[in-house]
Copies of this chain bind each other. A is one copy, B any other.
Amino acid sequence: MNVIKQFFRSAFSVDSVIFGFDEGDLKVLLIYRGADPYKGTWALPGDLVRLDEDLDDSARRVLNELTGLTNVYMDQIHTFGKVERHPLGRVITVAYYSLVKVSDYKVNASSWAKDVKWHSISSIPKLPFDHNEILEYAKNKLKDKVRHQPIGFELLPKEFTLTDIQHLYESVFEIELDKRNFRKKLLAMGLLIDSGFSQNAVAHRPARLYRFDKKKYQSLIQKGFSFEL
């Protein structure tokens, strides 16, 4: 027991890659650090995990403090534990990503963040700690996951056009997709509900608006269906 106590001198943190999708572009929410270490740099939001707090709860808390959102899709990415990754001591960090609807809320700077801003995935600055590496892991994880589970819809408003979702997949996959083939495949799964409405006030033919059919999806996977795009 005594010999074991020497191990209880480390801390763990959670860091969150918060993805959003806006203006046809994949974005990440970064904070401008208001406290040391690395005060005055853009970084991934994160915090030390409290001793009486489950790991996942901690990640949810960080997200909630920053955005006010609850019930957000969230997934653990990877745990980063190099000895020297944190200047204040031995801290390993468990990285999460979450998918939010940019339109749903307004970002709040929190106690530890002086500023908060969406950054396009294509212009991410140099980040402190191992945050750039974490972000790379997050992008790859998202790329894999979005192909096999219908989580892309978490990034879109409740009603969206087929073009919206195609652009979303194109930004995540970083390739262009064929419009007709994409729609064929997507619609063939029968997971979209035609809302009956269309866009308005657009300077071109308005697109139909669809919703994702969560209930249908649940019942299909029960029967062994597997999503793939």
Contact = CB atoms under 8 A, between A and B. Distances in A.
Interface in A58-84: 76, 78-83
A92 interface: yes
Nearest to A48: B7
A88 interface: yes
A90 to B, nearest CB: 5
A48 B90 CA distance: 13
A53 B6 CA distance: 14
Nearest to A11: B7
A9 interface: yes
What is the copy number of this chain in the assembly? 2
Contact of A56 (B7, B9, B76, B81): B81
Contacts of A51: 6-7, 9-10, 83, 90
A52 interface: yes
Contacts of A12: 10, 12, 81, 92
Given A4-B11, A7-B50, A52-B83, 11 more contacts: A4-B88, A7-B11, A10-B51, A12-B12, A12-B81, A49-B92, A51-B90, A54-B81, A54-B82, A55-B79, A79-B79
Interface of A: 1, 4, 6-12, 48-56, 76, 78-83, 88-90, 92, 94
10 contacts: A4-B11, A10-B11, A12-B12, A49-B81, A52-B83, A53-B83, A55-B79, A55-B81, A55-B82, A76-B79
